[in-house]
Structure 1
């Protein structure tokens, strides 16, 4: 009949089911991450087991290993989510902002979150700061973040427009230097905390970020005594 829509292909009927499975998978992964973080904050990373995390998340032990390879990876997952959020915010900044200005604004947005994800990110950062056993997982998170940020910087600046402009090394070098500066800044900022359950003042973070990025913008090379 004219005007009648064609029948929906069979494959389309399966899409909602795939979506539900994926949502369930993500929900389980988040539940495991949350359970690991709660237990690590309460008892210390070294004093908890994968079995305890599985029990806390109300899942089977096999299910835990479907999502994470170790308790350490589960504990730092909230920090990994925060690292990904930083790159997303950086990509969303207006094109008129410079790379370092866009990064500054992205950092402040991510660290000023007061929702559950923001609180968990902060808890994970504190745990990584205090727990040497988390260093390998922390380095994995930082490496992934550096690679993602380098791609975002490359997309932002585009190919060199003039001789002496950004070259192929620029995005990678910029991402590595900026994230190293931010690690120093966040460590100093967390050191200002007076209550382990509260974030230090954002004004302190803003001041530290501005100083660190200003040094990057003007160059680190200097002469002793100047």
Structure 2
């Protein structure tokens, strides 16, 4: 069973990895912007690459198609939430650690970032071709979180049910909270409240609401 390294012992991102991350983000953000402005059907890989100041070949090093690039916009921030859970004090349980990491995530969103989240959700509803890539991302996030939960609880991510249940329910809760928030038109406080409510309900056993 693998062990989580203490936060101080984890390697920092090297310059090369940081550049790759920045390039990936630039491509994804450009893809989202063009899809919002012109419609996904009118966006080409060449246009995305041009806006991101990279070559089409560089684009293909990061993404297989424009749909994958659009869905990738903003996802690194949610992946960072999982890393933040892993870095929380070991005395915290998985729900407590997840709550703290998500509170930092929702509290640090700028108005522009929140607007981009809503725009991407609207595109995913409008264009079914985006949905397989969206589903893949959430599945990947669930896998990453399951590994972290297993490490924090001393359980096995492959054979024991607990980390599977926590990761699956947490990701479903986060995803549902974001969708409901986007439909509500609320700002950052609304997103934080939705996510907090989702975690409250899940960690308390998901009791049925009182009529």
TM-score by length of 2: 0.77
Instruction: Please state if 1:152 is matched with 2:148.
Output: yes
Q: Residue 191 of structure 1 aligns to a residue in which SS?
A: helix
Structure 1 residues 157 and 63: alpha-carbon distance in aligned structure 2, compared to 1, 3 A threshold:
same
User: Structure 1 CA distance, aligned partners of 2:195 and 2:17?
Assistant: 37
User: Structure 2 CA distance, aligned partners of 1:144 and 1:60?
Assistant: 27
User: Structure 1 CA distance, aligned partners of 2:197 and 2:189?
Assistant: 12
CA shift, 1:63, in A, is: 2.4
Instruction: Please state if 1:170 is matched with 2:162.
Output: yes
User: Structure 2 CA distance, aligned partners of 1:87 and 1:97?
Assistant: 14
User: Structure 2 CA distance, aligned partners of 1:81 and 1:149?
Assistant: 14
Partner of 1:31: 26
Q: Which has the larger radius of gyration?
A: 1
RMSD, aligned CA = 3.0
Q: For residues 12-91 of structure 1, what are the structure 2 equivalents within 5 Å?
A: 24-91=19-86
Partner of 2:5: none
Contact 1:110 1:118 in 2 (8 A): no
Contact 2:85 2:98 in 1 (8 A): yes
Greater shift in the superposed pair: 20-29 or 54-63: 20-29
Contact 2:201 2:207 in 1 (8 A): no
User: Structure 2 CA distance, aligned partners of 1:176 and 1:86?
Assistant: 15
User: Structure 2 CA distance, aligned partners of 1:117 and 1:144?
Assistant: 25
Summarize deviations over 1:51-79 as a string: whole Å, max 9, x none: 22122223332222122100011112223
Q: Which one of the candidate residues 108, 129, 134 is aligned to 1:113? A: 108
Structure 1 residues 35 and 101: alpha-carbon distance in aligned structure 2, compared to 1, 3 A threshold:
same
Q: What runs of 5+ residues in structure 1 fail to find an aligned partner? A: 1-18, 161-166, 194-199
Summarize deviations over 1:146-194 as a string: whole Å, max 9, x none: 000000101111149xxxxxx811001110011111111111111122x
User: Structure 1 CA distance, aligned partners of 2:126 and 2:163?
Assistant: 31
Partner of 1:187: 179
- How many residues matched? 195
User: Structure 2 CA distance, aligned partners of 1:207 and 1:182?
Assistant: 11
Partner of 2:132: 136
TM-score by length of 1: 0.72
CA shift, 1:130, in A, is: 4.8
Contact 1:83 1:141 in 2 (8 A): no
Summarize deviations over 1:35-59 as a string: whole Å, max 9, x none: 2122122223233121221222233
Structure 1 residues 130 and 86: alpha-carbon distance in aligned structure 2, compared to 1, 3 A threshold:
farther
